[in-house]
Amino acid sequence: MKEKVVLAYSGGLDTTALIPWLKETFGYDVVCCCVNCGQGNELDGLEERARLSGAAKLYIEDIVDEFCDEFIMPCVQAGAVYEHKYLLGTSMARPAIARRLVEIARKENAVAICHGATGKGNDQIRFELSIRALAPDIKIIAPWRMTDVWTMQSRDDEIAFCKAHGIHLPFDTSHSYSRDRNLWHISHEGLELEDPSQAPNFDDMLVLSVTPEKAPDRCTDVTMTFEAGVPKTLNGKAMKVSEIITELNRLGGENGIGIVDIVENRVVGMKSRGIYETPGGTILMEAHDQLEELILDRDTMETKKKLGSQFAQVVYEGKWFTPLREALQAFVESTQKYVTGEVKFRLYKGNIIKAGTTSPYSLYNESLASFTTGDMYDHHDASGFITLFGLPLKVRAMKLQEVKNKGN
């Protein structure tokens, strides 16, 4: 009986070419596994394509709710944003996919897992760190780094290889951007984006959104409720997290929300430019932040911001299945106990405009915040507070003045 390899299969040109290549190079039976994180119509036709390419079996695993509840929401609650802009759409999905690949590999008694990530990108790290953390005994095959046996260097080479093996597929060499899509976002790389001096060709690029200029000349009002940091309703309707993100994608996309152009620092040391469309995710994170403003005290908020940035770095670097991520998430979860309430806002031409926030746990006190004198705040107390708070500054200034006077 032949040994088996589980192939992380997207149905694209790279992973389609990998099926006959794995069979010829290693003599494996190839078990394809496509993990559905919300790719939409990218899943169409996969079964026939895998069969025509020589796969022994195809799994299409739906983990959309799992992805939302166990990977997206911890990042939302942490306020995890990489380099101030990137909402981690691909970074969050890779460990979720890797976990399911390992499960299928165990089920099939496979000896190896193969991925089609390139040797220049972050995904090779995210896949392989996750697989090693979950299944250290399973071999990992990364063809793009195996240049002695993987000789294809372009889409033309891959198409020619497929044709030589009787696989005629609907791909062409003029295909535009390199894209990654899931429920949270879609990313775009390549073509004019490889030159940072060039403006993006949004008309040819955007999939989920329109630009703010093309958004309607009217506001879209949105109301959301949260319980313990988790969104529960959207415009009065109770929904699962995945359903809320789906609807927010529609609303945000129509209003030009969440289009980001970033030059980011990859883990492997190079800079790369990409466009990310994250309409629903941008809204969800802003709504969550809007509610937290009312509820978290100053010290907790400041600490959470610092750890949220670290959380983003950990996820970006593929270290999901680590004690550090678990510890950071434990802190974040402890801050979410009282993040409950209602958030209102308006979407307008790329903007998310606050329209009111309420919570039974709000720390905002109108009597304290008002410019009028209230019972809980005596203005005279501020004098003593400022004296003590500024004492180190005064002592230092006095010492500097003393030294200066001695010099004169």
Which residue, 99, 45, 67, 332, is CA-closest to 184?
67
Is 178 in the active site?
Answer: yes
* Extents of the domains making up the chain: 4-175, 179-296+339-358
Q: Which residue is catalytic, options 62, 65, 178, 266? A: 178
Query: Any idea which fold 4-175 has?
Result: Rossmann fold (3.40.50)
Q: Which residue is catalytic, options 53, 100, 123, 126? A: 123
Please say whether the beta carbons of 45 and 9 come within 8 A.
no
Compute CA distances 148 → 88, 91, 160, whole Å: 33, 29, 19
What residues form DSSP beta bridges with 36? Answer: 62
Q: Which residue is catalytic, options 49, 94, 126, 181? A: 94
Q: Tell me the per-residue pLDDT of 95-151, one tens digit each, with 9 for 90 and over.
A: 999 999 999 999 999 999 999 999 999 999 999 999 999 999 999 999 999 999 999
Which residue, 344, 340, 339, 341, is CA-closest to 223?
344
333: tokens are 């979860």
Is 123 in the active site?
Answer: yes
Question: Residue 86 gets which letter from DSSP?
Answer: B
Q: Tell me the per-residue pLDDT of 189-230, one tens digit each, with 9 for 90 and over.
A: 999 999 999 999 999 999 999 999 999 999 999 999 999 999
Span 179-296+339-358: which CATH code?
3.90.1260.10
Secondary structure (DSSP) of 161-229? HHHHTT---S--TT---EEEE-SS-EEEESGGGGSTTSPP-HHHH-SS---GGGS-SS-EEEEEEEETT
**Least confident segment among 75-84, 314-323, 324-333, 364-373:** 364-373
Q: Are strands 29-36 and 4-8 parallel, antiparallel or unpaired?
A: parallel
Question: Strands across the sheet with 351-358, in order?
Answer: 237-238, 230-234, 220-227, 341-348, 351-358
251: confidence class by pLDDT, cuts 50, 70, 90: very high
Asked if the model's pLDDT at residue 173 lies above 70, the reply is: no
369: confidence class by pLDDT, cuts 50, 70, 90: low
The proportion of the chain whose per-residue pLDDT surpasses 90, expressed as a percent, equals 87
Model pTM? 0.94
Please say whether the beta carbons of 250 and 289 come within 8 A.
no
The continuous run of DSSP H or E covering 242 comes out as helix 241-254
First vs last C-alpha separation in the chain? 94
Is 14 in the active site?
Answer: yes
